[in-house]
Amino acid sequence: MRLLLLNLLRKPLRTLLTVFGVGVALFLFCFLETVLMSFNAGVNMSDASRLVVQHKESIIFELPMSYGSRIEQIEGVTGVTSASWMGALSQEPGPDGKKREEFFAQFATNIERHLAIYPEIKVPADQLRDLMNDQMGCLLGVKIAERLNKKVGDRLVLRSTIWAQKDGSPIWEFNVRAIYTSDSPTFDQTMMLFHLKRFDEARQFGQGMVGLYILSIADPGRSAEIAAGIDSRFANSPYETRTMTEKAFNLQFVSMIGNFQLLLRSIGSAIVLTMLLVSANTMMMSARERWREMGILKAIGFTDGHVFLLLIGEALAISLLGAAAGVGLAWLLANVVHYNPKPDFFPVFYLPGESMLAAVGLAALTGFSSGIVPAVAGMRLRATEALRSV
């Protein structure tokens, strides 16, 4: 171990720059994994026991409110709620006195039913009671509440880009009555929920209609059967339905931007390849400079295995030090500091544990791959040839 440490410190600047290069590469790899996770956040938070019912033609078309009670009659359905997209921007005064607009998801729903279907949402009992007693009340996720600098009891003003009130005004006002949290790191905590009854009575058009239905089922294994039963019940009606799992529903939105996963994976692969080349070049240079020393080690009794492990260990140490720096910094920014470069676009932004393990695994593989050639050459080196070449 001491000899390994001395070899690393032989050329400290070169070692430092190599560790830095590996660290930067793995930091970028982790950042891409975090972005990819953010795009798939809706898919990752999906539950197999939840189904979504939308209009057969497109999600932009609405369904009658009367469908809710009829869906509840389907065998295997344990709960039903509806959700209508608000499509609004917050209207908050900025530091310069101008209005600062923030985009985030807002849904009009039956809050009590919605919370029963989504046990991931945690709301304090006293706040929930106040929310249910105030038709102008709303429920905010803790992260969007922090972005908007809102707390329980504050006023929230939104400008809808879709729905106007009966007087023609696009401005909607709400009372922040509750703030929810979640124990799941993949659950969106930037949403706003408010009362469907107030929304339906106040809007200028679309009364008696909702955007989609979300339902819970007793047996996820029967999801296809239950989905087919719902769609057949409304077949040949003016508002035909398309029922799918929550995961399939969320995948629709991911697919709209193309095969983004392939793009990010390709960039990540290029980063790993570059990291491998940098590390391999360093190890080859280091090994070539020490042919005589390896010959001396063998002459004084070091075995071929000792020389092999020494060179492989050096390559692994450099790669793992780079992993500690790069992955550690990515974890610190994403999971501790909670840095989010685009909070209105990435409602969930954190580095999963499996991605960190993958990065460390890639570092170990890179270290082994870059060190195997010089290590094998050193193992096969004869002491007499090494000493004669100098």
Determine the length of the chain: 390
Residues 98, 134, single domain; the answer is: yes
According to DSSP H, which parts of the chain are helical?
Answer: 2-8, 12-39, 41-44, 67-72, 111-117, 125-132, 142-148, 196-202, 223-233, 246-255, 260-288, 291-299, 304-331, 353-380, 383-388
What SS3 state is found at 302? Answer: coil
pTM, two decimals, is: 0.72
Residues 334-344 pLDDT 10s: 888 888 777 76
How far apart CA 102 and CA 347 sit, in angstroms, is 12
Same domain, 320 and 355: yes
Q: Can you tell me the mean pLDDT for 277-306?
A: 67
Q: Are residues 202 and 306 in the same domain?
A: no
For residue 183, what pLDDT is reported? Answer: 87
Are residues 18 and 87 both part of a single domain? Answer: no
The whole-number pLDDT of residue 92 equals 75
In the chain, pLDDT over 90 holds for what percent of residues? 43
- pLDDT top residue among 98 and 22: 22
Alpha-carbon distance 185 to 349, whole Å? Answer: 9
pLDDT digits (tens, 9 = 90+) for 144-161: 999 899 999 999 999 999
> How high is the pLDDT of residue 7?
61
Q: Does residue 76 sit in the same domain as residue 193?
A: yes
Check residue 201 and give its pLDDT. Answer: 94
pLDDT-derived band at 309, boundaries 50, 70, 90? confident
In a domain, 249, yes or no: no
User: Does the residue 357 lie in any domain?
Assistant: yes
Residues 195 and 307 in one domain: no
The answer on 335 and 205 residing in a single domain is: no
Dig out the tokens for 148 from the structure. Answer: 């908007």
The pLDDT-based confidence of 254 (bands split at 50, 70, 90) is: low
212, 99: one domain = yes
Q: Do 153 and 285 have their domain in common? A: no
Number of independent structural domains in the chain: 2
If asked whether residues 271 and 358 sit together in one domain, one would say: yes
Instruction: Domain of residue 31: give its range.
Output: 2-41+258-388
One domain, residues 124 and 153: yes
Domain membership of residue 50 (yes or no) is: no
How sure is the predictor about 235, in pLDDT bands with cuts at 50, 70 and 90?
very high
Per-residue model confidence (pLDDT) at position 6: 61
Q: Work out the number of other CB atoms within 10 angstroms of the CB of residue 142.
A: 14
pLDDT (mean) for 60-82: 93
- Do 68 and 202 reside in the same domain of the chain? yes
Report if residue 82 sits inside a domain. Answer: yes
Banded pLDDT at 43 (limits 50, 70, 90):
low
For 14-23, what is each residue's pLDDT tens digit? 778 888 888 8
Higher-pLDDT residue of 108, 92: 108
Arithmetic mean of pLDDT over the chain: 83
